[in-house]
Amino acid sequence: MKPKSNNLPKGWLKVKLGEIMQISRDFGRKIKVSEYKAKGLIPIYDQGSDYISGYTDDLKAVHNGQLPAILFGDHTLRLRLINHKFAIGADGIQILEPLDSTIDRIFLYYLLKYAIKSLKSYGYERHLKYLRELEISYPEDINEQKRIADILSAFDDKIELNNKIIKTLEEMAQEVFKEWFNKNSNFKSQRSKLGELVQIISGYPFSSKSYNKHRKGFGVVTIKNVQDGGFITECDSFIEEEKIPKNMNQECLISDGDILLSLTGNVGRVCFVYGGKYLLNQRVAKLKPKNPNNIAFIYFLFRQPNIQNLLINMAKGSAQPNLSPVETGEIEITIPAREILDKLNKVINPVYEKLIKLKVENQTLAILRDLLLPKLMSGEIKV
């Protein structure tokens, strides 16, 4: 017997998620932590399924079920829609599937994205049992499900396309950088300290008493926001403008295009800021070129493996590595002469600006998608 509710849009049903969803067991052998660094072309997803923790060539561990597959991080409440061969790590990753052909799998993915928002109060315990018990509503007509999924997928498809362009542009700029740098290093070049090229500005030690509970104001950027080549826009803490300490260096007000360097833990990670205005916390540094025209040069310079290895090797600390901004500024490198550097900047600066623009566009698309999600999943907007 089909469940009914007078509050539902016409043609919609109300059920528990466990009645339309199952856990797929067709994912082969899970990869152990010791095997994460195995060489191969097939990615291993782990830690909430939102990033690749390694690669494998073990075909016995590869998912052979239907694609796209929905990965769910049981501990972290993260979802990922995967449309290629993959393996999964042994750390709380599940593959969720429609129970039968009456549920479109891409629609189920977005339905799950909508549903898991109500699970966050359970903390970092296993969430799957609670997910199964959640009451949700959905259109019985699978064509309506597909129309909803198509609308939301259009945003994610554009984001994915932009990500591919970003990857290509970054790789292209890195190759141009290395070619120009290496080709001209022995001709019209000079030795310079990093500190002569860039200011390395440490973040401010904000007090938690300045944070607000309603998540308003400036997001506080910490070490976890700085990934290798990627900036995480979501912040855990916020400070309103009137609460900003008066003795804070104004350079700790950061925004689109500013370059960040991690000083603790995974030292040497570099990314650029996008998506709004933030405050820079301690253990993260801002790289401010002394010549503003060198912005892209500084970013790609610090992204070079030889520079990152230098930073990692010089990091000090008993519990975890710590990088000194002063010592970093003393590192000597060979750079092309000014006229050559100016020519390089004309090539890579537009690429850097395009990277920022695409990242901002992706953030805007994600916000619009997330605004539409509850309206489509509740039937408030008919399609």
Tell me the DSSP string of 210-223: G--TT--SEEEE-G
| pLDDT range class, residue 36, cuts 50, 70, 90 | low
pLDDT recorded at residue 33: 66
pLDDT recorded at residue 1: 35
Inter-residue contact 28 to 63 (CB < 8 Å):
yes
pLDDT recorded at residue 4: 45
- Is 188's pLDDT higher than 90? no
Mean pLDDT, residues 154-167 taken together: 95
- Is 3's pLDDT higher than 50? no
CA distances from 236 to 117, 191, 214, 219, 232 (A): 17, 41, 11, 8, 11
Inter-residue contact 63 to 89 (CB < 8 Å):
no
Q: Which two tokens stand for residue 121?
A: 């109060």
Q: Which two tokens stand for residue 235?
A: 């912040």
pLDDT recorded at residue 117: 80
CA distances from 5 to 38, 138, 180, 212, 275 (A): 52, 12, 67, 40, 41
pLDDT recorded at residue 56: 85
**Whole-angstrom Cα distance, residue 274 to residue 360?**
6
pLDDT recorded at residue 293: 95
Task: Return the higher-pLDDT residue of 160 and 73.
Answer: 160
- Is 244's pLDDT higher than 90? yes
Mean pLDDT, residues 77-85 taken together: 88
**Whole-angstrom Cα distance, residue 43 to residue 123?**
28
Q: Residue 242 corresponds to which amino acid?
A: E
Report percent pLDDT > 90 for the chain.
52
**Whole-angstrom Cα distance, residue 265 to residue 226?**
11
pLDDT recorded at residue 120: 59
Sorted by where each starts, the structural domains of the chain and their CATH numbers stand as 12-140 (3.90.220.20), 168-336 (3.90.220.20)
- Is 74's pLDDT higher than 80? no
User: Residues 329-373: pLDDT tens digits?
Assistant: 999 888 878 888 888 899 999 999 999 999 999 999 999 999 999
Mean pLDDT, residues 304-313 taken together: 88
Mean pLDDT, residues 136-155 taken together: 96
pLDDT recorded at residue 225: 92
pLDDT recorded at residue 31: 79
Bridge pairing between strands 189-193 and 79-82: unpaired
| pLDDT range class, residue 318, cuts 50, 70, 90 | low
Nearest to 77 by CA among 110, 126, 33, 43: 126
Strand order in the sheet with 284-289: 198-202, 284-289, 259-262, 270-272
Q: Which two tokens stand for residue 102?
A: 């009456």
Residues 6+ apart with CB under 8 A from 266: 223, 228
Inter-residue contact 298 to 352 (CB < 8 Å):
no
- Is 6's pLDDT higher than 90? no
| Lowest pLDDT segment from 53-57, 69-73, 238-242, 256-260 | 53-57
pLDDT recorded at residue 90: 74
User: Residues 246-273: pLDDT tens digits?
Assistant: 999 999 999 999 999 999 988 899 999 9
pLDDT recorded at residue 186: 56
- Is 57's pLDDT higher than 90? no
pTM of the model: 0.84
**Whole-angstrom Cα distance, residue 25 to residue 39?**
25
Please, what is the Cα angle at 287 between 266 and 192, to 5 degrees?
Answer: 100
Mean pLDDT, residues 96-100 taken together: 93
Mean pLDDT, residues 98-120 taken together: 90
pLDDT recorded at residue 129: 78
Residues 6+ apart with CB under 8 A from 258: 272, 273, 286, 288
